[in-house]
């Protein structure tokens, strides 16, 4: 099956997605009978498009960033267009803006009106406009997946929607932000300063374009909010989440955690209490008996408490641009592969 794709956002994740399409082209055809063709890529300055498919090798070798699309346009003679034409699916990988949800929201709504399926990696639009997006998607028979926005390479939504079907999820607890976990682990294991550890996370391409989203707990809040609204039946907004980030965690706090034989972690929690769903993010000291205590560095982890299957969890899914791109590819495969 041929599937024509539009990608918005050619940053570190978008560029990695292009690389995966090229690297795995044959494998995807053989294993899933899926032939993905990238017909448009959009950056800040516009879209390069080709009905026959863009050259994945040239794009994959380019530096990430919108400037590369302008260079590609000049070198290839393909003009930069102001928007994209209809295709089968949109991959949304622009920066996350939790205030406006833009530019992702505009791209997602345009795709829905073109009846294109959507794989969202950015979180802003989903966090700000969840109901609007899903109502429009349903009305237009559009399918939408967003593993990339809910901890990416760490399976979270898939577990809740598929593996735990029939169970009631009573609570969700996770270490969902690789940047914060990397900072806390580096401070505790290697006595690295907060600032140095943040710089290293930025160097690895895992911090948000605005790293305050990571260290102030907003990225974790977005992820646990999306999980709560998708899996616990809530309809909460970001303002309903009680959020404390790791900016207030001092080296003294870390020393105290070590002295108690514990680890400092940024935990995101959603749970049912008195008939309502509560969602919160904050630093906690956890002991070795906690299911998430082995989650260090850029790794993440999640534990679901259920009524019939006990506690079920996953750990790993290290934050990385490649992991995020792979999560989007997984969503695409699940949208189009039929057994």
Ligand X SMILES: NC(=O)C1=CN([C@@H]2O[C@H](COP(=O)(O)OP(=O)(O)OC[C@H]3O[C@@H](n4cnc5c(N)ncnc54)[C@H](OP(=O)(O)O)[C@@H]3O)[C@@H](O)[C@H]2O)C=CC1
Ligand Y SMILES: N[C@@H](CC=O)C(=O)O
Catalytic site positions: 223
SS3 percent helix, strand, coil of the chain, rounded to 5, is: 40, 20, 35
Question: Which of 209, 247 has the CB closer to ligand X?
Answer: 209
CA 206 to the chain's CA centroid: 11
Distance CA 134, CA 146 (A): 12
Site mask, ligand X, residues 151-180, x = CB under 6 A? -x----------------------------
In what side-by-side order are the strands of the sheet with 263-273? 242-243, 276-286, 263-273, 169-175, 300-306, 311-316
Determine the angle formed by the axes of helices 178-190 and 218-231, rounding to 10 degrees: 130
Interface residue with ligand X among 4, 5, 7, 9 (CB under 6 A) is 9
Which range binds ligand X by CB under 6 A, 117-125, 249-257, 272-280, 309-317? 117-125
DSSP state of 63: P
Is position 108 an interface residue for ligand X (rule: CB under 6 A)?
no
Q: Are 256 and 216 in contact (CB under 8 A)?
A: no
CA-CA-CA-CA torsion for 333, 336, 337, 339, nearest 10 degrees? 150
Among the residue ranges 74-82, 139-147, 166-174, 202-210, the one whose residues contact ligand Y (CB under 6 A): 202-210
204 or 293, CB closer to ligand Y?
A: 204
**Interface segment toward ligand X; rule CB under 6 A; list 27-35, 59-67, 72-80, 159-167:** 59-67
> 92 vs 219, which CB is nearer to ligand Y?
219
Binding to ligand Y by residue 179, rule CB under 6 A? Answer: yes
DSSP secondary structure code for residue 79 in this structure: P
214 contacts which partner out of ligand Y, ligand X, none, CB within 5 to 8 A by kind?
A: ligand Y
Q: Does 97 bind ligand Y (CB under 6 A)?
A: no
Quick count: other Cβ atoms within 10 Å of Cβ 16? 23
Among 120, 169, 172, 207, binds ligand Y (CB under 6 A): 207
User: Of 14, 178, 283, 317, which one interacts with ligand Y (CB under 6 A)?
Assistant: 178
Nearer to ligand Y, 39 or 157 (CB): 157
Segment 296-325, which members bind ligand Y (CB under 6 A)? 319
Distances 35 to 38, 100, 274, 338 between C-alpha atoms, Å: 10, 35, 49, 13
Scanning residues 104 to 163, which ones bind ligand Y (CB under 6 A)? 152
Subset of 195-254 contacting ligand X (CB under 6 A): 205-206, 208-209
Residue among 131, 44, 32 nearest 80 (CA):
44
What is the rounded distance in angstroms from the CA atom of residue 121 to the CA atom of residue 331? 10
The terminus-to-terminus CA distance of the chain in angstroms comes to 13
Taking CB under 6 A as the criterion, the residue among 5, 42, 227, 305 binding ligand X is: 42
18 CB-contact burial (10 Å; exposed 0-12 / middle 13-18 / buried 19+)? buried
Closest CA to 8 of 119, 112, 100: 119
Residue 187 contacts residue 254 (beta carbons within 8 Å): yes
Least distance from ligand Y to the Cβ atom of residue 183, Å: 10
Which of these segments, 57-65, 80-88, 106-114, 203-211, binds ligand Y (CB under 6 A)?
A: 203-211
Minimum Å distance from CB 319 to ligand Y?
Answer: 4
Q: CB of 55: closest distance to ligand Y in angstroms?
A: 28
Q: Give the residues lining the site for ligand X (CB under 6 A).
A: 8-14, 42-44, 64-66, 93-96, 103, 121-123, 148, 152, 205-206, 208-209, 319-321, 324
Q: Give the residues lining the site for ligand Y (CB under 6 A).
A: 152, 177-179, 206-208, 214, 219, 319
């Amino acid at each position: 099956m041929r599937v024509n794709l539009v990608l918005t956002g050619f940053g570190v994740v978008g560029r990695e997605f292009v690389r995966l399409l090229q690297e795995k082209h044959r494998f995807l055809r053989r294993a899933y009978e899926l032939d993905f063709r990238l017909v448009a890529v959009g950056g800040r300055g516009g879209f390069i498009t080709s009905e026959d498919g863009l050259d994945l090798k040239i794009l994959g070798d380019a530096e990430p960033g919108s400037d590369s699309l302008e260079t590609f346009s000049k070198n290839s003679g393909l003009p930069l267009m102001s928007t994209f034409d209809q295709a089968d699916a949109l991959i949304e990988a622009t920066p996350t803006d939790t205030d406006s949800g833009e530019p992702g929201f505009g791209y997602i709504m345009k795709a829905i009106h073109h009846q294109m399926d959507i794989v969202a990696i950015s979180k802003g639009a989903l966090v700000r406009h969840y109901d609007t997006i899903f109502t429009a998607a349903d009305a237009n028979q559009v399918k939408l997946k967003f593993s990339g926005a809910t901890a990416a390479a760490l399976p979270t939504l898939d577990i809740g929607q598929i593996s735990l079907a029939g169970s009631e999820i009573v609570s969700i607890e996770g270490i969902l932000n690789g940047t914060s976990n990397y900072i806390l682990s580096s401070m505790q294991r290697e006595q690295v300063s907060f600032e140095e550890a943040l710089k290293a996370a930025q160097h690895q391409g895992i911090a948000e374009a605005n790293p305050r989203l990571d260290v102030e707990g907003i990225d974790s809040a977005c992820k646990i909010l999306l999980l709560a609204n998708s899996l616990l039946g809530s309809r909460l907004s970001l303002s309903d989440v009680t959020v404390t980030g790791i900016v207030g965690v001092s080296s003294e706090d870390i020393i105290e955690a070590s002295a108690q034989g514990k680890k400092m972690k940024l935990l995101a929690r959603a749970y049912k209490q008195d008939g309502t769903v509560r969602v919160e993010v904050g630093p906690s000291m956890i002991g070795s008996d906690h299911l998430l205590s082995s989650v260090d560095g850029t790794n993440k982890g999640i534990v679901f408490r259920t009524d019939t299957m006990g506690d079920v969890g996953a750990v790993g899914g290290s934050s990385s641009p490649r992991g995020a791109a792979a999560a989007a590819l997984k969503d695409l495969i699940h949208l189009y592969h039929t057994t």
